A = this chain, B = another copy of it.
Amino acid sequence: MVDLVIDGCTALVHDDSGQIHFAEDAAVVVHGGVIDAVTSTREAASIEAVERIDGRGQLAMPGLINCHTHSPMVALRGIAEDMPVEEWFNDWIWPIESNLTDRVVELGARLACAEMIRGGVTTFADHYFSMDRVAAAVADSGLRANLGLAFFSSQGAEGRERSLDFALRMRGAADGRITTSLAPHAPYTVDDDDLVATAALARRHGLLVHLHAAENRAQTDNSLERYGRTPIGVLQRTGLLDVDVLIAHGTGITTKDLDVLREGTGRIGVASAPKGYLKFAWDTTPVRGLVAAGVAVGLATDGAASNNTLDVWESMALTALVQKSAENDPAWLTSRQALGHATTQSARAVGLGDEIGSLAPGRRADVILVDLSGPHTQPLHDVAAALVHSARSADVTTTVVDGRILMRDRRLLTLDVPEIVAELNAELPALTERRKGKRIQDYDG
């Protein structure tokens, strides 16, 4: 008797070389939170299961992974639009964040979890404040997450120590679904000594480091002017490329930086969130160069205060579209490549390359079902193209994490959205009041 069988579906599977295939009339067998087998519906017919899901007309694939977000920032969705990043940080986000409370963080994280479950996200990497409250939301929602408590050097050594304390205390929480990171904010807000110390702590404790770097070209130019090094050069010098590191954005990564990244001995990932780059009129992440340098490029949404959604389907489609345009090559970043970034590459980027990212025996049972019967996905000449360029987050019908069903037929089973929204709305007036001169940092990247 197994826990769960999903049968009758098309299954997105990877072969040994990482290429994507679609198995027709497939069955996904789940037991003990793990994928037991991906087999045929016929073979699975004789397997007894506590629960069965009829996957006919649907596609089963690994749950999506949001490689970089600030989940509680959904509370600020749409509050600061159509402006440059300096104004966005200094006049809006950082003043408002001086009002953050544990309660806002938890309500925001819960709303974010609801949005992500509905969009087929099963794992997210979060970098924010009051992370114990985010961890509580992760535990309750049933999602998987890598969590890091953000710090700035302006907090003194205490910032780094609290980030470490959180990472050590919470790793393995929520039945093992929570992993943790050390989370320095960025090379322009965390000094070299702090970064060196962070690298040493990461090595000693076997922790991932999750930080922003080379977010845009201006940061790279400013870093060169101030320190004689690019932000990636700073990471190299401080030892952060020789530990496991997850770099958010990297749209300011230069061609020379690619060689520096190639020489790093750590597992290096970059999280790309292309929607916000368009919105801020930045360049985009140099995906082609990064992949050639052996860097895992994962998909991300950043926070909803800039990205407006936590929709990784959007990030996947935009990555394909924007990369073709940026490389001036319609044959680059095919739908299968985009799905590779969404699955195995994103799993590697968040440090879970052996646990999630493919439907294969022994992997955690993080599975989503996508309805491909809608008029916008038919007829189905090319399943990969349908997933990347036609399907949308609303086509996800079912979301499973660790074998537990978090959404079924689009009904959320672990979170109550109207209640969360009502409670969050009550907090918004106090949250969004901007007091003269109050802000958590100055943006001068």
Contacts from A to B (Cβ < 8 Å): 74-79, 81-85, 111-112, 114-115, 118-119, 275, 277-282, 304, 308-311, 321-322, 324-325, 327-335, 373-382, 385-386, 389-390, 392-395, 417-418, 420-421, 424-425, 428, 432
Contact = CB atoms under 8 A, between A and B. Distances in A.
Given A77-B378, A78-B390, A330 B119 contact: no
Contacts of A395: 394
A60 B262 CA distance: 53
Contacts of A85: 330
A324 B274 CA distance: 13
Q: How many copies does the complex hold?
A: 2
- Which of A79, A321, A322, A432 has most chain B Cβ within 10 Å? A321
B330 A84 contact: yes
Name the 9 nearest CB pairs between A and B, nearest first. Answer: A394-B394, A308-B389, A278-B321, A78-B382, A78-B385, A115-B375, A114-B375, A78-B381, A82-B334
Given A118-B374, A376-B309, A279 B330 contact: yes
Contact of A82 (B335, B381, B418): B335
Contact of A375 (B375, B376, B417): B417
B381 A76 contact: yes
Contacts of A111: 375, 378
A279 B432 CA distance: 39
Contacts of A75: 379
B381 A79 contact: yes
A334 B82 CA distance: 6
A271 to B, nearest CB: 19
Nearest to A84: B330
A380 to B, nearest CB: 7
Contacts of A428: 379, 381
A131 to B, nearest CB: 21
B115 A385 contact: no
A330 B280 contact: yes
A311 B330 CA distance: 21
B329 A281 contact: yes
A334 B279 CA distance: 10
Given A279-B330, A281-B327, A334-B82, A118 B77 contact: no
22 contacts: A77-B381, A78-B386, A82-B330, A83-B330, A84-B330, A84-B331, A85-B330, A118-B375, A278-B325, A279-B321, A279-B330, A281-B324, A308-B385, A308-B386, A309-B389, A311-B376, A374-B417, A375-B421, A376-B393, A378-B421, A392-B392, A392-B393
B118 A376 contact: yes
Given A82-B330, A309-B389, A394-B392, A379 B77 contact: yes
Contacts of A308: 385-386, 389-390
Contacts of A324: 82, 278-281
A282 to B, nearest CB: 8
Contact of A379 (B311, B325, B393, B421): B421
Given A275-B321, A321-B278, A428-B379, A331 B83 contact: yes
A85 to B, nearest CB: 8
Contacts of A281: 324-325, 327-330
Contact of A389 (B78, B84, B280): B78
Given A79-B381, A325-B278, A119 B376 contact: yes
B310 A376 contact: yes
A432 B380 CA distance: 13
A241 to B, nearest CB: 29
A90 to B, nearest CB: 14
Contacts of A331: 82-84
A345 B417 CA distance: 36
A275 B311 CA distance: 18
A78 B278 CA distance: 25
Given A278-B325, A324-B279, A375-B417, A335 B385 contact: no
